[in-house]
Amino acid sequence: MNEKYEIMNDDKEVLKNRHKKLRNIYTILKTLLDQSGFGWDDEKHMVTVDSYVWDEYLKEHSEAKPMRTKTMLNYHDLDEICRKSTTTG
C-alpha cells in the first residue's frame, strides 16, 4: 500500500512540474504576443516578428529566447486552458 501511495505521489509531482513548465511557457508566449509587431503563425505554430525586433526584445528579455524557434502545436488549447484558469482564479 505504501509503495502504491509513493508512486501516486511521484506522479502528482510530475504533473505539477509539467503544469508549471507549461504555465511558464504560456506566460512568455502571451507576453510576446501582447507586444507590438509580434504575431502567431498558425501554419508554423510559432511566434513571428522581424529579426531585428526579436534581437531588440531579447536584449531585455532573455527568458524568451527559446520561443524564437520553438513550435507549439497546441498553443490555442494552452491559451484556452490558461486563460480560463487565470480568469477564474
What is the per-residue pLDDT across 19-72, written as a single tens digit (0 to 9) for each?
A: 899 999 999 999 999 999 999 999 999 999 999 999 999 999 999 999 999 999
Q: What is the pLDDT of residue 89?
A: 47
Residue range(s) defining the domain that contains residue 41: 2-88
Q: Report pTM.
A: 0.78
DSSP letter, residue 40 = E
**CA gap 46, 62 in Å, rounded:** 17
Q: What is the pLDDT of residue 13?
A: 85
Length of the chain: 89
Q: How many domains in the chain? A: 1
DSSP letter, residue 35 = S
Least confident of 4-8, 11-15, 82-86: 4-8
- The candidate with the shortest Cα–Cα distance to 47, out of 27, 33, 26, is 33
